[in-house]
Amino acid sequence: EHKCILQTCRFLQTKGFEVTYLKPDTNGLVKLDDIKNSIKDNTIMASFIFVNNEIGVIQDIENIGNLCKEKNILFHTDASQAAGKVPIDVQKMNIDLMSMSGHKLYGPKGIGALYIKRKKPNIRLNALIHGGGQERGLRSGTLPTHLIVGFGEAAKVCSLEMNRDEKKVRYFFNYVKDYLTKHLDYIVFNGCQINRYYGNMNISFLFVEGESLLMSLNEIALSSGSACTSSTLEPSYVL
The catalytic residue among 4, 158, 192, 228 is 228
Q: Phi first, then psi: what are they for 206, rounded to 5°?
A: -65, 140
Cβ contact 43:65 at 8 Å: no
Whole-angstrom CA distances from 33 to 60, 210, 222 are 12, 36, 36
Cβ contact 123:75 at 8 Å: no
The answer to whether residue 158 is catalytic is: no
**CB-based contacts of 131-139 (< 8 A; 24+ apart in sequence):** 138/114
The terminus-to-terminus CA distance of the chain in angstroms comes to 12
Closest CA to 192 of 74, 26, 61: 26
Q: How far apart are CA 125 and CA 105, in angstroms?
A: 26
Give the residue numbers marked as catalytic: 228
